[in-house]
Amino acid sequence: MIVHFWDLPENRNYIILKEKFKNKLIKILKNKKYPFKLKNKIKIGKIRIKKLIEVSKKEKIILNIIEKNIIWVGGNNSKGLSNPKLPFNFKTRKGARFIAAIINDGTLTKEGSSYGRLMYDNFDKSLRESVIKDYLIIFGGKKDEIAFRNTEKKKYLEFSSVIRDVIEIVIKNKGPKTESNIKLPDFVLKDKECMLGWIEQTIADEGEVKFYPNKYRRAIVWRRSLDITNIMGERKAKDTPLRRLPLKIQELVQSQKLNLIESEKKILDSMSIKYKLYNLGLYITTKNKIRTRWQINIAGRENLLKLRKLIKIPSLEKDSKFHKIILGYTRYKEPLKIKENIINLGKNKKNFTSLDLKKIMNYKETNTAIKWLKKFEHEGFIKKIKESSYGEGVYRKPAEYKII
């Protein structure tokens, strides 16, 4: 997904050109009639995109050349965007992450002005900083062109009107995602890096990294909701499990496809990441909207190890917890490898010894192999069938084992 300056709403966005290019343009327009002439003198400061497109058509100036010479773009009374990286390319991991952030924890709303506002609302400072970094790489500009609103109930970034216009072009949607049943932009599903960016940002915004070592619970989950007020009527539901509803209502709720979940299932399938999807029932919002909540659950050692190789969560707290999960798995990597080799020994030989395990594991010391065999014997996985003994020579014959 690429957005050029001429894709922006023409009537409410202006640009400023590089001085050298602007002077060349003035020479071309010197003896011609254009609406931004003043007493036969051409003054080009901020110029409306619509007027510039008209000039490009009449004077046969290639729009791409104009685009390369833009040093500022934005609304007439806004901070706008300085030194924009035009055209704006979202077909990258960072581009998909930024769009995911806006759809997950952001708002593209009509409130506050006739055209709406664009915000990203999250208490996690590391996440806000990650969104700003992605923004600067995608759009250019300066950090201070992004407003930060800090209140007790909200900590959010607010972007200038031109960024709002760009995002509206990309996601083609306004208002709460639960009510519009917003779709994931098509370009995300066509590129692996974009898909990975979407998943890691979604886990950061909407997800939870579950790590309870003592209970052996390790999983990554995230939840999505869909407004079904229109199909539920006046029915009241307070965290009502789906199974407790009448069968017809169950079928009706399950028939409502949640577009983001359907797309995220496709992404996980394409990555060969296993998951489970749960319906968590219905709940009522403070505005008496009835919604159904769904949860994606990713668990399992190999599954999480595979996911870890693919993504880095842009939340320091959640990524740190994910790292601890993987460290916990790494501790048990050696025993699993040894167990697998013992199974192979059991298949190839009726009985085996510490010397066999030492050879297959490439250990320098036999004592290391003996230690592991004693451990698995204690756990009941193998059984000692013959004690070690001395033969006629000075060398001791090792104990023999078999798989139970």
Q: pLDDT tens digits for 51-71?
A: 888 888 888 889 999 999 999
Structural Rg of the chain based on CA atoms: 31
pLDDT at 112 over 50: no
In sequence order, the 6+-apart residues with CB closer than 8 A to the CB of 109 are 116, 117, 119, 174, 175
What confidence tens digit (pLDDT) does each residue in 296-325 have?
A: 999 988 899 999 999 999 999 999 999 988
What's the confidence (pLDDT) of residue 291?
Answer: 86
CATH tag, 88-185: 3.10.28.10
Burial per residue of 279-296, b for 16 or more beta-carbon CB atoms within 10 angstroms, e otherwise? eebbebeeeebbbbbbbb
pLDDT digits over 222-264, tens only?
999 988 887 776 555 555 566 666 676 667 777 778 899 999 9
Angle, helices 333-348/316-331, rounded to nearest 10 degrees: 30
Task: Check residues 115 and 337 and name the one with the higher pLDDT.
Answer: 337
User: Tell me, what's the pLDDT at 117?
Assistant: 84
The DSSP result for 333-364, as a single string, is: HHHHHHHHHHHHHHHH-SSEEHHHHHHHHT-S
Q: Is the peptide bond before 9 cis (omega within 30 degrees of 0)?
A: no
pTM: 0.76
Cα separation, 212 vs 210, whole angstroms: 7
Find all residues with CB under 8 Å of 330, minimum gap 6, and list them. none
Asked if the model's pLDDT at residue 26 lies above 60, the reply is yes
Q: Is the pLDDT of residue 221 over 80?
A: yes
H or E element at residue 203? helix 192-206
Q: Which amino acid is at 30?
A: K
Top mean pLDDT of 45-49, 73-77, 136-140 is at 136-140
Listed residue (125, 140, 62) closest to 94, CA to CA = 140
pLDDT tens digits, 281-299: 788 888 888 888 899 999 9
Report percent pLDDT > 90 for the chain.
42
Pick the CATH number of 205-328 from 3.10.28, 2.60.40, 3.40.50, 3.60.21: 3.10.28
Residue count of the chain: 404
Contact yes or no for 277/265 (Cβ under 8 A):
yes
| Pair of tokens at residue 95 | 């581009």
Residue pair 160/237 in contact by the 8 Å Cβ criterion: no
Structure confidence at residue 238 (pLDDT)? 54
Instruction: Give the residue carrying structure tokens 């890691």.
Output: 200
Class of domain 333-403: mainly alpha
| Helix H or strand E encompassing 205 | helix 192-206
153-192: pLDDT as tens digits: 888 899 999 999 999 999 887 777 888 888 899 999 999 9
When pLDDT is averaged across residues 261-273 and rounded to a whole number, the result is: 95
Domain parsing of the chain, residue ranges: 2-82, 88-185, 205-328, 333-403
Q: Do residues 43 and 36 make contact, with C-beta atoms less than 8 angstroms apart?
A: yes
Q: Which residue has the higher pLDDT, 329 or 103?
A: 103
> What integer best gives the mean pLDDT of the chain?
85
Averaged pLDDT for residues 375-391: 82
Same fold, 88-185 and 205-328: yes
Q: How far is CA 43 from CA 27, 70, 200, 257, in A?
A: 12, 16, 48, 55
